Amino acid sequence: MATYLDRIAAWHRAAASADRRDVKELAARACECPPTRDFVKALQAPTGNVSGGGGGAIALVAEIKRRSPSKGELAPDLDPAEVARAYEAGGASCLSVLTDGPHFGGSPDDLQAARTAVGLPVLRKDFTVSASDVFDARVMGADAVLLIVAMLAPEELAELHHLAVALGMAALVEVHDEHELEQALETGTGLVGVNQRDLHSFEVDRERAARVARHVPAGVLKIAESGVESAADVAALARAGFDGVLVGEALLRSRDRSAAAAELLRRAVPCG
């Protein structure tokens, strides 16, 4: 049975196959772009006060998205610049911006507006399946790209990771289990995202992140994704050794997004 990710991946692969743009021209444009903001450094020096995997504060990667396949419409009329400024004021270390249109209602314009409004590094949250996707991310101003192990063959993962790094971007390599983690680490990545959402049921498994985190080597930054809704969740993930959390829906649904971001970082004090 096809998962939601299978269906989204199929759509993006079909779009990549139909793309008739000149890859060399895309590459040239990407290479001419201004320097990126340091996504990894921002994660290593967060503004929150919750102890993370490295012993310092845990980082908040605050997400901007208009809708999701699981929750439907979240904030279809949001102003990306306004949301980005609220997140920055609330203590976010980085932004994640959905640019997928058909499934999440996003666009490159959302990313550009958010990044222009703040000084934070920005992750292009999309479904990267080709070199053109990586070049596009660089051209639109992204400082990091998402590479989902479940969507990519090992050789594709290695190639796209190498390309992103060569273009000056960070690559957040997303995994769902220990087997995918092994594949991620083979790329030499220093940045792993552990998605707590089950690919088949789309339900959140709150034990998944802690279980996978135990197998991540020292020196590799760990970001927990999906199902992070409260300060207690952040504290639990900090205790599990995570360096950061990626949060979207809990912030987007808040009336005061700046206060909601600050609440996650200030109140989530680990015990013991």
Can you tell me the distance from the alpha carbon of 265 to that of 62, in angstroms, rounded to the nearest whole number? Answer: 12
Catalytic residue among 225, 249, 258, 263: 225
Cβ-based neighbours of 197, under 8 Å, separated by 6 or more:
70, 176, 203, 204, 205, 225, 226, 227
Which is it for strands 72-73 and 67-68: parallel, antiparallel or unpaired? Answer: antiparallel
Q: Is 71 a catalytic residue?
A: no
Active site residue 96: no
Q: Which of 96, 226, 249, 258 is catalytic?
A: 226
Could you say which of 93, 96, 130, 174 is catalytic?
174
Q: 227 near 204, Cβ under 8 Å? A: yes
Kindly name the residue from 93, 96, 195, 258 that is annotated as catalytic.
195
Can 225 be counted among the known catalytic residues?
Answer: yes
63 in catalytic set = yes
Q: Which of 68, 93, 96, 125 is catalytic?
A: 125
Q: Spot the catalytic one: 63, 88, 249, 263.
A: 63
End-to-end, the C-alpha distance of the chain in Å comes to: 43
DSSP helix/strand/coil, 221: strand
Please report, as a single letter, which amino acid is at residue 215.
Answer: H
Active site residue 125: yes
Helices (H), the chain: 4-18, 23-31, 39-44, 80-89, 108-117, 131-140, 154-166, 178-185, 208-213, 231-239, 249-252, 257-267
Catalytically active residues, by annotation: 63, 65, 125, 174, 195, 225-226
